Amino acid sequence: MTKSSLKPKNWPQEVQYLTSLSLMPSVDLATLRLPNPGTLPLIAPLPAAPSLWTNILPITDPTHPAFGQNGLFATRSLSPGSFILFYLGLVHTSATTDPASDYDLSLDREHDISIDATRCGNEARFINDYRGVRSEGPNAEFRDCAFEVSAGVWEKRIGVFVLDKGKSPKGPRAKGIAKGQEIVVSYGKGFWNARHVASELTATVETNLN
């Protein structure tokens, strides 16, 4: 784990800023190693931190689903398919999963490890879902990738990438992400289904208490 004395503007004081993954003692570093990265996108050298390509900004539009919170915005034009930054946080197993976390992403199902950015992470934790934000759909996505930690030694990571330009030369993805545009992904149906169930359970408990 690498902590940085430099933090992005608008970084919350209660969250630890990371420049590399943090591992719980129960996670073996070897589970991240890739003997052969295969067809995974290769990332080297280590991207600058804080990120030069993104800004954390408060959401001031009252119609935005994350109004009053923060979002991640591009500081320059980002071309289709390009790498933006890693998703960093605490690497853990399912035995230590926080069921209430909104920041948990699966890193490797075979090795049963995930990344949770609730209490520590980087700018990627501020990426919002596209729903209610961008009618054209997401402009970025999470992808598995490989990072060269030393010469010829690769480790698995989750990266945030601009969506590929797609088939249409005039489609909404053809130009990538413009400077000043919010970077948004699709959290997936599983995330929203879990949130819906949690809301129903909370409502049921409150009703019973009343």
Total residues belonging to the chain: 210
Fold for the domain defined by 16-209: Beta-clip-like (2.170.270)
Cβ distance 107 to 87 under 8 Å? no
Q: How far apart are CA 101 and CA 169, in angstroms?
A: 39
Closest CA to 95 of 110, 114, 108: 114
From residue 187, how far is each of 9, 16, 137, 146, 195 by CA, in Å?
Answer: 25, 23, 12, 22, 11
Closest CA to 21 of 52, 49, 57, 54: 49
pLDDT of residue 205: 35
What residue ranges do the domains of the chain occupy? 16-209
pTM: 0.87
Burial track 16-27 (b if 16+ CB lie within 10 A, e otherwise): bbbbbbbbeeeb
Q: Is 204 helix (H, G, I), strand (E, B) or coil?
A: helix
Cβ distance 132 to 69 under 8 Å? no
- CB count within 10 Å of CB 175 equals 16
Which amino acid is present at 107? L
Per-residue pLDDT of the chain (210 residues), as tens digits, is 555 668 999 999 999 999 999 999 999 999 999 999 999 999 999 999 999 999 999 999 999 999 999 999 999 999 999 999 999 999 999 999 999 899 999 999 999 999 999 999 999 999 999 999 999 999 999 999 999 999 999 999 999 999 998 777 677 777 899 999 999 999 985 543 444 333 333 333 333 444
